[in-house]
Amino acid sequence: MAGLFPKWMNALPTLGALVGGPAVVVVVAGGWYWLTPDYFEVGYQPVQPGGGYNHQLHAGELGIDCRYCHTHVEESDHANIPSVATCMGCHTEGKLRASVSGGPGGDRHNRMVSFIRDAYAQDESIEWSKIHLVPDYAHFPHHVHVNAGVSCYSCHGQIAGMPVVYQAEGLGMGWCLDCHRNPEERLVPPDKVTDLVWVEHNWFDKPTSEREHNGVTPEDLVASLRRDPPQNCGACHY
């Protein structure tokens, strides 16, 4: 697990290139913040119930696929946040056998998951704070991007290495257009869209002989885009 962060930081020069100008990097409490106008919400990390939902543990260490919880991400504009029932599929008392942190039935674990069991028993939902937000006047469809082979990583960063999720990218209009003008090298094979570690091995930089993945090359993916990503105002504002 410790290996994830250093690897993730290798991506920083790439991110710097995307800003398209000189950017200042400041280390704040172990996190990185990009101080350019478009990036003012980068690093946003609201306080969450239960101290935050641990993606590093669930999606990273345990390897649970993103779509196990974010079930709508391939079908609709919005990805969904899972209900308490999804958590209870594993966190019902006595259910977990495998232990990551020494004893799933142990006191520490029971204390940490009590807010889930309480919410479920009282038929309440857990009020997670929203992190990523595009204003209502702009339209962002998740499914189109995910189905085209844009990895979650491109827009959300190394989620599988985050003990608590924060906003990794600016999500401003300039940021959307940066990719829309030049999407080619941002695509990954369809079966790797939710594999956030794979994405770091830079498919496009491989020699041609090593580029095929399950019969797909980057060039095939580019050819399979339904059309060029839109740059006309009406595609995102209507």
Site for ligand HEC in 34-73 (CB under 6 A): 48, 50, 52-55, 57-59, 62, 64, 66, 68-70, 73
Whether 98 and 58 have beta carbons less than 8 Å apart is answered as no
CB of 161 to ligand HEC, least distance (A): 9
Contact call for residue 221 and ligand HEC (CB under 6 A): no
Nearest to 144 by CA among 174, 168, 185, 176: 176
Residues 99-118 that bind ligand HEC (CB under 6 A): 99-101, 104, 109, 112-113, 116
- The backbone region for 222, taken as left when phi is positive above 0, alpha when psi lies in -120 to 50, beta otherwise, is alpha
Structure tokens, 48: 């969450």
| Position 175, amino acid | W
CA 183 to chain centre: 18
Contact call for residue 180 and ligand HEC (CB under 6 A): yes
Query: Which stretch in 9-17, 19-27, 149-157, 206-214 sits in contact with ligand HEC by CB under 6 A?
Result: 149-157
Q: Which is nearer to ligand HEC, 34 or 207 (CB)?
A: 34
Q: Which is nearer to ligand HEC, 91 or 213 (CB)?
A: 91
Rg (CA), the chain: 19
Per-residue contact string for residues 13-32; x = within reach of ligand HEC by CB under 6 A: --------------------
Whether 186 and 154 have beta carbons less than 8 Å apart is answered as yes
Q: Which is nearer to ligand HEC, 31 or 141 (CB)?
A: 141
Please tell me the number of Cα atoms within 13 Å of 15 on its side-chain side: 27
Contact call for residue 86 and ligand HEC (CB under 6 A): yes
